């Protein structure tokens, strides 16, 4: 399934003015956090102790990539990508503000391989740099920069990725979230399985590293909507820390439903 995704990318990579999907593109029409979002940081920012946020909101993600070089030195491709993950208080009576938006530009070298071991194929290896921030100031400001690798393996309709990273240090004066790696850790594990037109995925982050105290689990399922070819139904469940940068150190237990345009596979 990863090989099919890479072949699809190769078919479009040489088309000018073409943006390709990177991470899943979706909208959750309704996403409810049973644990409740903490309004304290917003109350500090706006100096308004009555300021509150809804526990049910809309969320969406837009993620695209573009090739910068293809088959460079007959061994690698270079990509750049941008991911926008927005948390929209659509059902809030006070003008439906955006509670949080995370911006994630990145660039990486990609080596497509076919190394086989124990029935699995190492399909691609990536080495990149990524910046993530919420573009805000004051007590709402959050950001960090990382160097990362991403190793993809597959077997039939099952795919795994192991993504370790290293946080680039910042000056204490400029660091808005010095303890972020305590909650988001230093790696992410993901698995995805494709059955007919259904895609199931699971993500685990910082669970073993934190002794299952500050980790996160995300489950998702995209499924066909009758014979409609342009959208799929989408269900996402998240529990743990780091759903968004503003909530990196707050526990979230969320279930959301909506539509997916693209998925991992």
User: pLDDT per position in the chain (265 positions), as tens?
Assistant: 777 877 777 777 767 777 899 999 999 999 999 999 999 999 999 898 988 899 999 999 999 999 999 889 989 999 999 999 999 999 988 777 899 999 999 999 999 998 998 899 999 999 999 999 999 999 999 999 999 999 999 999 999 999 999 999 999 888 999 999 999 999 999 999 999 999 999 999 999 999 999 999 999 999 999 989 999 999 999 999 999 999 999 999 999 999 999 999 9
**Residue from 131, 141, 186, 198 carrying the catalytic annotation:** 131
C-alpha distances in Å from residue 219, one per residue of 37, 84, 137, 203 = 20, 20, 32, 7
User: What is the distance between the alpha carbons of residues 114 and 163, in angstroms, rounded to a whole number?
Assistant: 19
**161 an active-site residue?**
no
Whether residue 66 contacts residue 20, with contact meaning beta carbons closer than 8 Å, is answered with yes
Q: Which of 170, 210, 203, 202 has its CA nearest to residue 186?
A: 210
Whether residue 51 contacts residue 39, with contact meaning beta carbons closer than 8 Å, is answered with yes
The single residue listed with the structure tokens 């995300």 is 218
**Residue from 133, 141, 198, 204 carrying the catalytic annotation:** 133
**103 an active-site residue?**
no
- The pLDDT score that the predictor gives to residue 185 is 97
- The pLDDT score that the predictor gives to residue 1 is 79
């Amino acid at each position: 399934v990863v090989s099919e995704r890479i072949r699809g990318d190769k078919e479009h990579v040489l088309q000018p003015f073409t943006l390709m999907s990177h991470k899943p593109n979706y909208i959750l029409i309704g996403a409810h956090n049973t644990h409740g979002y903490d309004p304290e940081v917003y109350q500090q920012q706006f100096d308004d102790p009555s300021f509150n946020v809804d526990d049910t909101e809309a969320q969406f993600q837009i993620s695209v990539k573009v090739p910068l070089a293809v088959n460079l030195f007959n061994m690698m491709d270079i990509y750049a990508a941008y991911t926008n993950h927005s948390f929209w208080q659509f059902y809030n009576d006070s003008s439906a503000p955006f509670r949080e938006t995370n911006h994630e530009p990145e660039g990486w070298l990609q080596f497509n391989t076919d190394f086989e071991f124990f029935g699995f194929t190492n399909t691609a290896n990536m080495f990149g740099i990524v910046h993530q921030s919420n573009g805000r100031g004051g007590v709402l400001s959050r950001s960090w920069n990382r160097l990362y690798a991403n190793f993809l393996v597959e077997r039939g309709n099952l795919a795994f990725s192991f993504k370790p990273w290293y946080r680039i240090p910042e000056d204490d004066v400029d660091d808005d979230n010095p303890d972020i790696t305590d909650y988001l850790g230093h790696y992410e594990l993901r698995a995805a399985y494709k059955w007919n037109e259904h895609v199931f995925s699971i993500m685990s982050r910082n669970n073993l590293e934190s002794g299952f105290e500050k980790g996160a689990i995300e489950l998702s399922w995209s499924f066909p909507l009758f014979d409609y070819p342009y959208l799929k139904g989408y269900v996402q469940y998240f529990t743990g820390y780091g759903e968004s940068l503003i909530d990196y150190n707050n526990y979230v237990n969320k279930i959301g439903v909506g539509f997916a345009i693209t998925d991992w596979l």
